[in-house]
Amino acid sequence: MKICIIGAGAIGGLLGARLAACAGCDPAVIARGETLRALRQHGWRAETDDGVWQAPARVHADAAGLGPQDLLILAVKGPALEQVAGGLAPLLGEHTMVLPAMNGVPWWFCSGRPGLDAAPLRSVDPQGTIAAAIELRRVLGCVVHATTSVCAPGVSLQHGRARLIVGEPGGGHSQRAERVCALLQQAGFELTHSDDVRRDIWYKLWGNLTMNPVSALTGATIEQILDDPLVLTLCNDAMREASRIGERLGCPIEQTPEQRNQITRRLGAFKTSMLQDLEASRTLELDAIVGATRELGRRVGVATPNIDALLGLTRLMARVRGLYPWPPRPAANA
Protein backbone atom coordinates (compact mmCIF):
# COMPACT_ATOMS: atom_id res chain seq x y z
CA MET A 1 0.00 0.00 0.00
CA LYS A 2 1.41 3.40 -1.01
CA ILE A 3 1.02 5.71 2.00
CA CYS A 4 1.74 9.39 2.46
CA ILE A 5 1.45 11.26 5.76
CA ILE A 6 0.88 15.00 5.67
CA GLY A 7 2.36 16.51 8.81
CA ALA A 8 4.82 14.89 11.24
CA GLY A 9 3.88 16.40 14.57
CA ALA A 10 2.92 14.35 17.61
CA ILE A 11 0.30 12.18 15.87
CA GLY A 12 1.77 12.12 12.36
CA GLY A 13 5.19 11.26 13.75
CA LEU A 14 3.79 8.45 15.88
CA LEU A 15 1.85 7.01 12.95
CA GLY A 16 4.83 7.24 10.62
CA ALA A 17 7.31 5.70 13.06
CA ARG A 18 5.05 2.77 13.95
CA LEU A 19 4.06 2.11 10.32
CA ALA A 20 7.69 2.18 9.19
CA ALA A 21 9.13 0.19 12.10
CA CYS A 22 6.35 -2.31 12.82
CA ALA A 23 4.25 -2.79 9.71
CA GLY A 24 7.07 -2.98 7.20
CA CYS A 25 5.71 0.02 5.30
CA ASP A 26 7.72 2.84 3.80
CA PRO A 27 5.37 5.81 4.17
CA ALA A 28 6.33 9.07 2.53
CA VAL A 29 5.90 12.20 4.63
CA ILE A 30 5.38 15.83 3.69
CA ALA A 31 6.84 18.13 6.33
CA ARG A 32 8.42 21.54 6.59
CA GLY A 33 10.90 23.62 8.56
CA GLU A 34 12.75 22.06 11.47
CA THR A 35 10.64 18.91 11.31
CA LEU A 36 11.61 18.30 7.69
CA ARG A 37 15.30 18.77 8.49
CA ALA A 38 15.13 16.52 11.55
CA LEU A 39 13.39 13.71 9.67
CA ARG A 40 15.99 13.85 6.93
CA GLN A 41 18.71 13.63 9.56
CA HIS A 42 17.43 10.85 11.85
CA GLY A 43 14.31 9.44 10.15
CA TRP A 44 11.13 8.51 11.96
CA ARG A 45 11.46 8.44 15.74
CA ALA A 46 8.82 7.85 18.40
CA GLU A 47 9.49 7.33 22.11
CA THR A 48 6.77 5.22 23.75
CA ASP A 49 6.26 3.12 26.87
CA ASP A 50 7.20 0.13 24.68
CA GLY A 51 10.55 1.61 23.67
CA VAL A 52 11.93 3.81 20.88
CA TRP A 53 10.63 3.20 17.36
CA GLN A 54 12.96 4.41 14.64
CA ALA A 55 13.15 3.89 10.88
CA PRO A 56 14.35 5.75 7.77
CA ALA A 57 11.88 8.32 6.44
CA ARG A 58 11.13 9.39 2.86
CA VAL A 59 10.73 13.11 3.45
CA HIS A 60 9.37 15.65 0.98
CA ALA A 61 8.67 19.36 1.18
CA ASP A 62 5.65 19.10 -1.14
CA ALA A 63 3.61 16.59 -3.16
CA ALA A 64 5.46 17.08 -6.44
CA GLY A 65 6.73 13.80 -7.85
CA LEU A 66 5.10 11.50 -5.31
CA GLY A 67 2.18 10.53 -7.52
CA PRO A 68 -1.18 9.04 -6.48
CA GLN A 69 -1.29 7.24 -3.14
CA ASP A 70 -3.43 4.38 -1.84
CA LEU A 71 -3.78 5.99 1.60
CA LEU A 72 -3.32 9.64 2.50
CA ILE A 73 -3.14 10.38 6.24
CA LEU A 74 -3.84 13.99 7.22
CA ALA A 75 -2.10 14.75 10.51
CA VAL A 76 -1.90 18.54 10.37
CA LYS A 77 -3.46 21.02 12.77
CA GLY A 78 -6.96 22.19 11.89
CA PRO A 79 -5.99 25.78 10.98
CA ALA A 80 -3.56 24.48 8.34
CA LEU A 81 -5.93 22.08 6.56
CA GLU A 82 -7.54 24.57 4.16
CA GLN A 83 -4.16 25.51 2.72
CA VAL A 84 -2.94 21.90 2.68
CA ALA A 85 -6.05 20.70 0.86
CA GLY A 86 -5.25 22.88 -2.13
CA GLY A 87 -2.03 20.95 -2.79
CA LEU A 88 -3.32 17.39 -2.50
CA ALA A 89 -4.38 16.85 -6.13
CA PRO A 90 -1.12 15.13 -7.25
CA LEU A 91 -1.58 12.54 -4.47
CA LEU A 92 -5.18 11.64 -5.30
CA GLY A 93 -5.78 8.73 -7.65
CA GLU A 94 -9.10 7.11 -8.51
CA HIS A 95 -9.12 4.94 -5.38
CA THR A 96 -7.08 7.02 -2.92
CA MET A 97 -8.43 6.88 0.64
CA VAL A 98 -8.05 9.93 2.90
CA LEU A 99 -7.78 9.39 6.66
CA PRO A 100 -7.90 12.64 8.70
CA ALA A 101 -6.15 11.90 12.01
CA MET A 102 -7.09 15.27 13.48
CA ASN A 103 -8.85 16.83 16.46
CA GLY A 104 -12.37 18.21 16.52
CA VAL A 105 -15.30 18.21 14.12
CA PRO A 106 -14.19 17.33 10.56
CA TRP A 107 -15.34 19.28 7.51
CA TRP A 108 -17.45 16.34 6.28
CA PHE A 109 -19.42 15.85 9.52
CA CYS A 110 -22.77 17.14 8.19
CA SER A 111 -22.46 15.75 4.67
CA GLY A 112 -25.19 13.33 3.67
CA ARG A 113 -27.02 13.60 6.99
CA PRO A 114 -30.80 14.04 6.63
CA GLY A 115 -32.16 17.08 8.46
CA LEU A 116 -28.79 18.80 8.75
CA ASP A 117 -27.85 21.88 6.78
CA ALA A 118 -25.56 20.61 4.01
CA ALA A 119 -23.68 23.92 3.80
CA PRO A 120 -20.00 23.74 4.81
CA LEU A 121 -19.23 24.35 8.48
CA ARG A 122 -17.94 27.91 8.44
CA SER A 123 -15.84 27.25 11.52
CA VAL A 124 -13.74 24.57 9.77
CA ASP A 125 -14.29 25.01 6.01
CA PRO A 126 -15.62 28.55 5.51
CA GLN A 127 -15.32 28.62 1.72
CA GLY A 128 -15.98 24.93 1.10
CA THR A 129 -12.36 24.62 -0.07
CA ILE A 130 -11.61 21.40 1.80
CA ALA A 131 -14.80 19.66 0.68
CA ALA A 132 -14.09 20.65 -2.94
CA ALA A 133 -10.53 19.27 -2.77
CA ILE A 134 -11.35 16.01 -0.92
CA GLU A 135 -14.44 14.21 -2.17
CA LEU A 136 -16.51 12.57 0.55
CA ARG A 137 -16.20 9.18 -1.20
CA ARG A 138 -12.49 9.18 -0.39
CA VAL A 139 -12.83 9.83 3.33
CA LEU A 140 -12.51 7.36 6.18
CA GLY A 141 -13.41 8.80 9.57
CA CYS A 142 -10.78 8.49 12.27
CA VAL A 143 -10.56 9.15 16.00
CA VAL A 144 -7.20 9.15 17.80
CA HIS A 145 -7.09 8.31 21.50
CA ALA A 146 -3.44 8.74 22.51
CA THR A 147 -1.52 10.98 24.89
CA THR A 148 1.18 12.43 22.66
CA SER A 149 3.53 15.38 22.39
CA VAL A 150 6.56 16.53 20.41
CA CYS A 151 9.67 16.43 22.58
CA ALA A 152 11.98 17.64 19.78
CA PRO A 153 11.53 18.36 16.05
CA GLY A 154 10.62 15.09 14.35
CA VAL A 155 10.41 13.15 17.62
CA SER A 156 7.02 12.03 18.97
CA LEU A 157 6.49 11.13 22.62
CA GLN A 158 3.58 8.84 23.54
CA HIS A 159 2.48 7.49 26.95
CA GLY A 160 -0.14 4.87 27.73
CA ARG A 161 -2.48 3.31 25.22
CA ALA A 162 -2.58 4.30 21.56
CA ARG A 163 -6.05 3.57 20.23
CA LEU A 164 -7.51 4.41 16.83
CA ILE A 165 -11.14 4.23 15.70
CA VAL A 166 -11.76 4.01 11.94
CA GLY A 167 -15.03 3.90 10.06
CA GLU A 168 -17.05 5.00 7.05
CA PRO A 169 -18.50 8.54 7.34
CA GLY A 170 -21.94 7.21 6.43
CA GLY A 171 -21.77 4.35 8.90
CA GLY A 172 -21.52 0.60 8.54
CA HIS A 173 -18.50 -1.58 7.84
CA SER A 174 -16.50 -1.77 4.62
CA GLN A 175 -13.64 -3.80 3.17
CA ARG A 176 -11.46 -0.73 2.68
CA ALA A 177 -11.88 0.32 6.31
CA GLU A 178 -11.05 -3.23 7.36
CA ARG A 179 -7.84 -3.07 5.31
CA VAL A 180 -6.77 0.17 6.95
CA CYS A 181 -7.64 -1.17 10.41
CA ALA A 182 -5.55 -4.29 9.79
CA LEU A 183 -2.58 -2.20 8.64
CA LEU A 184 -2.70 0.11 11.66
CA GLN A 185 -3.16 -2.82 14.01
CA GLN A 186 -0.05 -4.39 12.51
CA ALA A 187 1.72 -1.13 13.36
CA GLY A 188 0.96 -1.67 17.04
CA PHE A 189 -2.19 0.41 17.54
CA GLU A 190 -5.34 -0.77 19.26
CA LEU A 191 -8.01 -0.63 16.55
CA THR A 192 -11.77 -0.41 16.45
CA HIS A 193 -13.63 -0.70 13.13
CA SER A 194 -16.60 1.48 14.00
CA ASP A 195 -20.04 1.27 12.41
CA ASP A 196 -20.83 4.84 13.57
CA VAL A 197 -17.63 6.88 13.52
CA ARG A 198 -19.54 10.19 13.71
CA ARG A 199 -20.71 9.21 17.17
CA ASP A 200 -17.14 8.28 18.17
CA ILE A 201 -15.92 11.67 16.93
CA TRP A 202 -18.57 13.47 18.96
CA TYR A 203 -17.72 11.49 22.09
CA LYS A 204 -14.05 12.46 21.93
CA LEU A 205 -15.01 16.06 21.18
CA TRP A 206 -17.25 16.03 24.26
CA GLY A 207 -14.18 15.68 26.48
CA ASN A 208 -11.84 17.95 24.49
CA LEU A 209 -14.41 20.72 24.25
CA THR A 210 -13.78 21.95 27.80
CA MET A 211 -10.42 20.59 28.88
CA ASN A 212 -8.56 22.05 25.89
CA PRO A 213 -9.67 25.70 26.12
CA VAL A 214 -9.60 25.79 29.94
CA SER A 215 -6.06 24.42 29.97
CA ALA A 216 -4.98 27.03 27.41
CA LEU A 217 -6.61 29.82 29.41
CA THR A 218 -5.09 28.80 32.73
CA GLY A 219 -1.95 26.81 31.95
CA ALA A 220 -3.34 24.03 34.14
CA THR A 221 -2.95 20.31 33.64
CA ILE A 222 -6.03 18.10 33.40
CA GLU A 223 -5.67 17.01 37.02
CA GLN A 224 -5.59 20.62 38.24
CA ILE A 225 -8.72 21.49 36.25
CA LEU A 226 -10.61 18.54 37.67
CA ASP A 227 -9.60 19.53 41.21
CA ASP A 228 -11.14 23.03 40.97
CA PRO A 229 -14.90 22.81 41.76
CA LEU A 230 -15.83 26.19 40.27
CA VAL A 231 -14.03 25.54 36.99
CA LEU A 232 -15.39 22.01 36.87
CA THR A 233 -18.94 23.31 37.21
CA LEU A 234 -18.43 25.50 34.13
CA CYS A 235 -16.96 22.55 32.22
CA ASN A 236 -19.81 20.24 33.18
CA ASP A 237 -22.45 22.79 32.16
CA ALA A 238 -20.75 23.20 28.76
CA MET A 239 -20.63 19.42 28.36
CA ARG A 240 -24.37 19.20 29.03
CA GLU A 241 -24.95 21.69 26.23
CA ALA A 242 -22.83 19.53 23.91
CA SER A 243 -24.78 16.45 24.97
CA ARG A 244 -28.04 18.11 23.92
CA ILE A 245 -26.49 19.02 20.56
CA GLY A 246 -25.32 15.43 20.12
CA GLU A 247 -28.81 14.07 20.70
CA ARG A 248 -30.15 16.19 17.84
CA LEU A 249 -27.23 15.21 15.60
CA GLY A 250 -27.85 11.50 16.11
CA CYS A 251 -24.75 11.23 18.31
CA PRO A 252 -26.14 10.72 21.83
CA ILE A 253 -23.81 10.61 24.83
CA GLU A 254 -24.64 7.88 27.31
CA GLN A 255 -22.51 9.23 30.17
CA THR A 256 -22.84 12.18 32.51
CA PRO A 257 -20.07 14.77 32.65
CA GLU A 258 -19.17 13.46 36.10
CA GLN A 259 -18.69 9.94 34.73
CA ARG A 260 -16.53 11.23 31.89
CA ASN A 261 -14.43 13.23 34.35
CA GLN A 262 -13.64 10.05 36.27
CA ILE A 263 -12.29 8.50 33.07
CA THR A 264 -10.29 11.62 32.24
CA ARG A 265 -8.75 11.68 35.73
CA ARG A 266 -7.20 8.27 35.13
CA LEU A 267 -5.01 9.83 32.44
CA GLY A 268 -3.10 11.77 35.08
CA ALA A 269 -1.64 15.27 35.07
CA PHE A 270 -1.03 15.69 31.33
CA LYS A 271 -1.10 18.83 29.19
CA THR A 272 -3.77 19.04 26.51
CA SER A 273 -2.81 19.51 22.87
CA MET A 274 -4.14 23.08 23.00
CA LEU A 275 -1.93 23.94 25.96
CA GLN A 276 1.04 22.39 24.16
CA ASP A 277 0.28 24.56 21.13
CA LEU A 278 0.02 27.67 23.30
CA GLU A 279 3.36 27.01 24.94
CA ALA A 280 4.95 26.45 21.51
CA SER A 281 3.33 29.66 20.15
CA ARG A 282 1.32 27.73 17.54
CA THR A 283 -2.11 28.78 16.26
CA LEU A 284 -4.80 27.25 18.48
CA GLU A 285 -7.29 24.67 17.14
CA LEU A 286 -10.26 26.53 18.56
CA ASP A 287 -12.46 26.43 15.47
CA ALA A 288 -12.67 22.66 14.99
CA ILE A 289 -13.12 21.93 18.70
CA VAL A 290 -15.13 24.78 20.22
CA GLY A 291 -16.27 26.95 17.29
CA ALA A 292 -17.75 24.01 15.37
CA THR A 293 -19.65 22.84 18.44
CA ARG A 294 -21.17 26.29 18.85
CA GLU A 295 -22.04 26.43 15.14
CA LEU A 296 -23.71 23.02 15.25
CA GLY A 297 -25.69 24.11 18.30
CA ARG A 298 -27.15 26.95 16.27
CA ARG A 299 -27.98 24.64 13.39
CA VAL A 300 -29.99 22.30 15.60
CA GLY A 301 -31.49 24.96 17.91
CA VAL A 302 -29.57 24.33 21.14
CA ALA A 303 -28.48 27.35 23.22
CA THR A 304 -24.79 27.27 24.22
CA PRO A 305 -24.07 30.07 26.74
CA ASN A 306 -21.28 28.18 28.51
CA ILE A 307 -19.65 27.03 25.28
CA ASP A 308 -19.92 30.63 24.01
CA ALA A 309 -18.10 31.89 27.11
CA LEU A 310 -15.30 29.35 26.71
CA LEU A 311 -14.90 30.20 23.02
CA GLY A 312 -14.97 33.97 23.57
CA LEU A 313 -12.45 33.99 26.41
CA THR A 314 -10.02 31.56 24.81
CA ARG A 315 -10.27 33.22 21.41
CA LEU A 316 -9.54 36.66 22.89
CA MET A 317 -6.57 35.33 24.84
CA ALA A 318 -5.21 33.68 21.68
CA ARG A 319 -5.73 36.84 19.62
CA VAL A 320 -3.85 38.96 22.13
CA ARG A 321 -0.96 36.48 21.92
CA GLY A 322 -1.05 36.39 18.11
CA LEU A 323 -2.24 32.76 18.02
CA TYR A 324 -5.65 33.33 16.42
CA PRO A 325 -6.59 35.89 13.73
CA TRP A 326 -8.41 39.07 14.63
CA PRO A 327 -11.63 39.67 12.65
CA PRO A 328 -11.34 42.11 9.74
CA ARG A 329 -12.15 45.67 10.68
CA PRO A 330 -15.28 47.17 9.10
CA ALA A 331 -14.51 49.35 6.12
CA ALA A 332 -14.40 53.03 6.93
CA ASN A 333 -17.32 55.10 5.68
CA ALA A 334 -16.57 56.92 2.46
pLDDT tens digits, 185-200: 999 999 999 999 999 9
Domain region containing 39: 3-195
Phi, psi of 115 (to 5 degrees): 85, -5
Assign 333 a pLDDT band (cuts: 50, 70, 90). Answer: low
What does the pLDDT average to over 112-126? 83
Assess if residue 329 is contained within a domain. Answer: no
- Same domain membership, residue 208 and residue 188: no
Assign 291 a pLDDT band (cuts: 50, 70, 90). Answer: very high
End-to-end CA distance of the chain: 59
Half-sphere exposure of 265 (CA within 13 A, CB side): 12
| Average pLDDT along the chain | 94
- Same domain membership, residue 172 and residue 62: yes
pLDDT value at 72 more than 80:
yes
What does the pLDDT average to over 233-257? 97
CA distance 2 to 262: 41
- Same domain membership, residue 315 and residue 240: yes
Query: In the prediction, which pLDDT does 334 show?
Result: 45
CATH number, domain containing residue 176: 3.40.50.720
User: The pTM is what?
Assistant: 0.94
| pLDDT digits 0-9 by tens, 76-110 | 999 999 999 999 999 999 999 999 999 999 999 99
Positions of E strands within 113-234: 141-152, 155-167, 190-193
- Same domain membership, residue 238 and residue 161: no
CATH number, domain containing residue 307: 1.10.1040.10
Cα of 291 vs its chain's centroid, Å: 14
CA distance 184 to 181: 5
Domain count of the fold of the chain? 2
Looking at the annotation, which residues are catalytic? 204
Instruction: Return the percentage of the chain with pLDDT > 90, whole number.
Output: 87
DSSP state of 172: S
